[in-house]
């Protein structure tokens, strides 16, 4: 129960307290302080009436762990609370959550407007998966509000963007885009993975749905895949544009989710229909590990940001570096937006371009001792990837440019190690890169050329 | 956004008031209760019954709903009512509020989307507590039930068992 202060108002707990407590009270049955791992597929009903009430959604009750699980629910409520939403629904991965979130509100013939500066996996999902569902898509330069507005059609059902874009590090101007959407009766969907609710809470700026790949900073230790979808609970799904949410549902014996559950209607439908039918449920064990991560989110993010800012400043001054794209740098064009939306920092994922292109990038990566060369972000460990020699290996320089990167682009996810060690390691890499730089660039490029007949679409950056 | 009206909804969504009402009420008259099991009012009536409240249907078109006798109006109910829970259009609320005052109810509870500043004022002048644009089922589930099992944000934080 919430404590009531002498002035009659409920006490408002701070973010750090809620990161540790929200969504989980000590288990009433055993007193267990840590969240119990309810590793069960299913739940015994008290009686047949209760079973019926649970399946009819007339009562909040556990039925089957594809649809709900008490350990997962603690995670869902915690993120819903930290984001300031009506609640959350967790998924097996970020992309599973994103697909389900969109699936819940879209139908064939609909249209989505999305930022062009997105995680590659999201680009692929939006472009190809949605097309299979006969949903059309327009990508727009996220920095130009008039392009968002110009792309809106009568069939547009969602605006989609990332708080901090991957890997360009652009900061989305959430507030006017949300207002634009609302003027047209369209919700704004934000992927807040890189910021986490500690650095930015998009709902406070008008976003309607917030999606996370919990795989990244929320979990924070690179152990578990997971995703979560939070809804603000304020969007009017009955505004005429969303019969798929508002009308009696043929998939749930005629239930009208928005009318029946009001501000919880979208989330109910997301769970009781989309999660039930698509099936990408989060495992209770993953929820347990992700909850452990979230408990330390505030202190981890402070350290991630502090290390990232120092490394960005080190890179800016480095002779081997052509360009650093990090909104936390004062001369970044995104710095004013960072000051508005991300006052505690622009996160810890950003990219820079190394002098000497592909060969230099490869040499740097090969020399590193401490930075892990892999395709992920948001681990306690520092991570690095050179798209041109890995995920985008099949692309020529022109194609790389089209993907928003160069042959020398290197992406970092700055971890929690001792700053001096991270810089020491990069410095060794730069020395190796300088030795290799430019000399065999053409050879490296040739090695990366496409084999005839092989699909040239790049593997996406995680 | 759901509401564009200038009502100060927060004043009618006070957490202490809501919790006191949930905890102390026994008898809840549901104005506009539908016999259709898919209607929101039926969901709420069913749920409140399951959780031990006596519900009193107020619906002139029905004789019995959810196993309880249905009354044409609040003033026809021959016993005391704690909460008058309203599932009607906002235009009907002032009249309902007057009746709620007349029968000595303790509170007027207006469900999601039932927004009536005039009705609220009438009830308050008559000494009733008022809750507006909130669902009684949801508030019960938040404070005393199992809403957290479905990942909803109850806002509850506690280290007590
Ligand atoms: C910004 C962003 N969104 C979404 C995803 C997808 O998340 P997941 O891998 O958990 O499906 C990723 C990474 O993979 C990401 O970096």
ipTM of the complex: 0.90
| Interface test with chain A among B9, B50, B151, by most A beta carbons within 10 Å | B151
Q: Residue B99 corresponds to which tokens in the numbers above? A: 């009746």
Q: What is the mean pLDDT of residues A159-178?
A: 93
Cis peptide before A167 (omega within 30 of 0): yes
DSSP secondary structure, A166-197, as one string: TTT-PBP-HHHHHHHHHHTT--EEEE-TTTHH
Cβ-based contacts of B150 with chain A (< 8 Å): 60, 68, 73, 87, 267-268, 271
Distance A360 CA to ligand 1 centre (A): 28
pLDDT higher at B5 or A433: A433
**Which of A90, A99, A102, A121 should be mutated for ligand 1, with most atoms under 8 A from CB?**
A121
Q: Out of A21, A61, A88, whose CB is closest to B151?
A: A88
Query: In this prediction, what percent of chain A has a pLDDT beyond 70?
Result: 93
Pick from A2, A260, A271: which is nearest to B43 by CB? A260
Contact A338, A171 (CB under 8 A): yes
Q: Return d(Cα A149, Cα B86) in angstroms, integer.
A: 40
- Which of A113-122, A322-331, A373-382, A394-403 shows the lowest per-residue confidence on average (mean pLDDT)? A394-403
Q: Between the ranges A113-122, A397-406, A423-432, where is the mean pLDDT highest?
A: A423-432
Cα of A227 from ligand 1 centre, angstroms: 8
- Kindly state the DSSP code that residue B150 receives in the 8-state scheme: G
C-alpha separations of B160 from A27, A39, A75 in Å = 9, 24, 19
Q: What does the mean pLDDT of chain A come to?
A: 92
Report the pLDDT averaged over residues A348-352.
96
First to last CA, chain A: 40
The answer to whether residue B2 sits within a structural domain is no
CB neighbour list of residue A427: distance below 8 Å, 6 or more residues apart: none
What lies within 8 Å, CB to CB, of A104 at 6+ separation is: A244, A245, A266, A269, A270, A273, A274
The answer, yes or no, to whether residue A450 has pLDDT greater than 60, is: no
Looking at residue A2, its pLDDT comes to 62
**Is there a contact between A332 and A338 (Cβ–Cβ < 8 Å)?**
yes
Q: Is-contact B25 B108, C-beta < 8 A?
A: no
For residue A9, what pLDDT is reported? 72
Q: What is the mean pLDDT of residues A205-221?
A: 98
To probe the interface with B, which of A67, A264, A282 has the most B CB atoms within 10 Å?
Answer: A264
From CA B73, how far away is CA A437, in angstroms rounded?
Answer: 86
Give the pLDDT score at A448: 40
Residue of chain A whose alpha carbon sits nearest to that of B4 = A236
Contacts of A261 in chain B (CB under 8 A): 40
Side-chain half-sphere of A3: how many Cα atoms within 13 Å?
9
Beta-bridged to residue A375, according to DSSP, are: none
Range with the lowest mean pLDDT among A20-24, A84-88, A125-129, A235-239?
A125-129
Q: Is A462 in the pocket of ligand 1 (CB under 6 A)?
A: yes
Q: What CATH number is attached to the domain comprising B128?
A: 3.40.50.720
The CB of A121 under 6 Å from ligand 1? The reply is: yes
Test B150 with A86 for CB contact under 8 angstroms.
no
Select from A17, A234, A259 the Cβ nearest to the Cβ of B1: A234
pLDDT at A444: 43
Counting other chains too, the contacts that A107-110 makes at CB distance below 8 Å and 24 or more residues apart are: A107/A243, A107/A244, A108/A133, A108/A134, A108/A135, A109/A134, A109/A135, A109/A155, A110/A135, A110/A136, A110/A155, A110/A156, A110/A157
Q: Using a CB-CB distance cutoff of 8 angstroms, which residues of chain A are in contact with residue B131?
A: none
Q: Which domain holds residue B128?
A: 9-149
Q: Could you tell me how many CB contacts below 8 A there are between chain A and chain B?
A: 124
* Residue A451 DSSP class: P
**Per the domain annotation, does B160 fall within a domain?**
no
Checking if the pLDDT of A443 tops 80, the result is no
pLDDT of residue B1: 38
In this prediction the pTM is 0.93
Assess contact for A389 and A410: CB atoms under 8 A.
no
Q: A72, B38: Cβ pair inside 8 Å? A: no
- Please report which confidence band the pLDDT of residue A8 belongs to, taking 50, 70 and 90 as the band edges: low
d(CA B147, CA B152): 6
Residue A157: what are its φ and ψ, rounded to 5°?
-120, -10
Q: Is the pLDDT of residue A446 over 60?
A: no
Give pLDDT tens digits for A43-68: 999 999 999 999 999 999 999 999 99
- The per-residue pLDDT for B137 is 95
The pLDDT score that the predictor gives to residue B145 is: 86
DSSP secondary structure of A66-132: TT--HHHHHHHHHHHHHHTSSEEEEESSHHHHHHHHHHHH--TT-EEEEESS--HHHHHIIIIIHHH
How far lies A251's CA from each of A68, A110, A238, A267, B49, in Å? 18, 19, 18, 15, 27
- Do A461 and A387 form a contact (C-beta atoms < 8 A)? yes
Does the CB atom of residue A225 touch ligand 1 within 6 A?
A: yes
For A369-383, how does the pLDDT look when each residue is reduced to its tens digit (9 = 90+)?
999 999 999 999 999
Confidence of residue A437 (pLDDT cuts 50, 70, 90): low
Cα A374 to middle of ligand 1, angstroms: 14
Which whole number is the average pLDDT over A159-175? 92
In a domain, B46, yes or no: yes
A215 C-beta closer than 6 A to ligand 1? yes
Residue B98 included in any domain: yes
Question: pLDDT exceeding 90 applies to what percent of chain A?
Answer: 82
The model's confidence at residue A1, banded by pLDDT at 50, 70 and 90, is low
Give a yes or no: residue B157 inside a domain.
no
> Contact A327/A335 with Cβ under 8 angstroms?
yes
- Pair of tokens at residue B85: 């829970």
A2: contact with B, CB 8 A cutoff: yes
- Using a CB–CB cutoff of 8 Å, tell me whether A264 touches chain B: yes
User: Could you tell me which CATH number the domain at A298-455 has?
Assistant: 3.90.1150.10
Q: Is A180 part of the contact surface with chain B (CB cutoff 8 Å)? A: no
Whose tokens are 């969602």? That residue is A158
Spell out, as residue ranges, where chain B has pLDDT lower than 70.
Answer: 1-6
User: CATH number for the A14-293 domain, one of 3.20.20.80, 3.40.640.10, 3.30.360.10, 1.10.10.10?
Assistant: 3.40.640.10
Q: Lowest-confidence range among A123-127, A341-345, B102-106?
A: A123-127
Touching check for A25 and chain B: CB below 8 Å?
A: yes
CB contact under 8 A, B1 and A27: no
Mean pLDDT across chain B, nearest whole number?
94
Copy the structure tokens of residue A70: 């008490």
In a domain, B154, yes or no: no
R_g of chain A, CA atoms, integer Å: 23
Number of separate domains in chain B: 1
Q: What is the total residue count of chain B?
A: 161
**In ligand 1, which atom is closest to the CA atom of A227?**
10
Least CB–CB distance from A260: residue in B19, B40, B143: B40
Would the pLDDT of A200 be above 80? Answer: yes
- Tokens standing for A77? 């409520």
Average pLDDT over residues A8-33: 93
Q: Are B150 and A68 a contacting pair at CB < 8 A?
A: yes
Smallest CA–CA distance from A253 into chain B, residue: B38
């Amino acid at each position: 129960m919430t404590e009531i202060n002498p002035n009659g108002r409920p006490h408002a707990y701070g973010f750090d307290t809620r990161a540790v407590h929200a969504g989980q009270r000590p288990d009433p049955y055993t007193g267990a302080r840590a969240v119990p791992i309810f590793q069960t597929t299913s739940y015994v009903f008290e009686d047949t009436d209760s079973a019926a009430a649970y399946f009819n959604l007339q009562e909040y009750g556990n039925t089957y762990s594809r649809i709900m699980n008490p350990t997962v629910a603690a995670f869902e409520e915690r993120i819903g609370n930290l984001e300031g939403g009506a609640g959350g629904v967790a998924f097996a991965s970020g992309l599973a959550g994103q697909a389900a979130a969109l699936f819940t509100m879209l139908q064939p013939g609909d249209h989505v407007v999305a930022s062009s500066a997105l995680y590659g996996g999201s680009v692929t999902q939006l472009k190809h998966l949605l097309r299979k569902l006969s949903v059309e898509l327009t990508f727009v330069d996220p920095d130009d509000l008039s392009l968002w507005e110009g792309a809106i059609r009568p069939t547009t059902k969602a605006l989609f963007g990332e708080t901090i874009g991957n890997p360009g590090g652009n900061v989305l101007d959430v507030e006017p885009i949300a207002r634009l959407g609302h003027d047209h009766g369209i919700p704004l969907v934000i992927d807040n993975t890189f910021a986490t609710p500690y650095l930015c809470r998009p709902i406070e700026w008008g976003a309607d749905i917030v999606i996370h790949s919990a795989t990244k900073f929320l979990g924070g230790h690179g152990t578990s895949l997971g995703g979560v979808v939070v809804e603000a609970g304020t969007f009017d799904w009955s505004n005429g544009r969303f019969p798929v949410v508002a009308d009696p549902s043929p998939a749930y014996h005629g239930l009208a989710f928005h009318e029946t559950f009001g501000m919880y209607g979208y989330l109910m439908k997301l769970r009781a229909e989309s999660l039930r039918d698509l099936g990408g449920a989060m495992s209770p064990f993953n929820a347990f590990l992700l909850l452990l991560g979230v408990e330390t989110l505030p202190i981890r993010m402070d350290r991630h940001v502090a290390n990232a800012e120092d490394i960005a400043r080190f890179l800016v001054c480095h002779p081997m570096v052509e360009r650093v794209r990090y909104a936390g740098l004062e001369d970044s064009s995104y710095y004013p937006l960072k000051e508005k939306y991300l006052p505690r920092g622009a996160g810890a994922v950003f990219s820079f371009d190394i002098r000497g292109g592909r060969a230099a990038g490869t040499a740097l990566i090969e020399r590193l001792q401490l930075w892990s060369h892999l395709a992920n972000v948001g681990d306690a460990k520092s991570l690095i990837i050179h798209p041109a020699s890995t995920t985008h290996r099949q692309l020529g320089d022109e194609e790389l440019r089209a993907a928003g990167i160069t042959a020398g682009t290197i992406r970092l996810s700055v971890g929690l190690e001792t700053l001096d060690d991270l810089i020491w390691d990069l410095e060794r890499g730069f020395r190796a890169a300088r030795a290799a730089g430019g000399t065999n660039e053409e050879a490296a490029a040739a090695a990366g050329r496409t084999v005839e007949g092989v699909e040239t679409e790049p593997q996406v950056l995680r | 956004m759901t509401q564009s009206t200038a009502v100060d909804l927060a004043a009618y969504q006070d957490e202490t008031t809501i919790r006191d009402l949930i905890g102390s009420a026994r008898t809840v008259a549901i104005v506009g209760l539908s016999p259709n099991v898919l209607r929101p009012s039926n969901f709420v009536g069913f749920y409140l019954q399951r959780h031990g409240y006596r519900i009193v249907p107020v619906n002139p078109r029905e004789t019995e709903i959810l196993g309880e006798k249905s009354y044409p109006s609040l003033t026809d109910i021959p016993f005391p009512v704690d909460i008058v829970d309203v599932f009607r259009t906002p235009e009907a609320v002032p009249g309902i509020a007057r009746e709620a005052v007349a029968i000595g109810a303790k509170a007027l509870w207006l469900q999601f989307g039932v927004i009536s500043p005039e009705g609220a004022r009438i009830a308050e002048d008559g000494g009733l507590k008022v809750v507006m644009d909130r669902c009684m089922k949801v508030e019960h589930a938040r404070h005393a039930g199992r809403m957290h099992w479905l990942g909803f944000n109850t806002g509850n934080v506690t280290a007590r068992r």
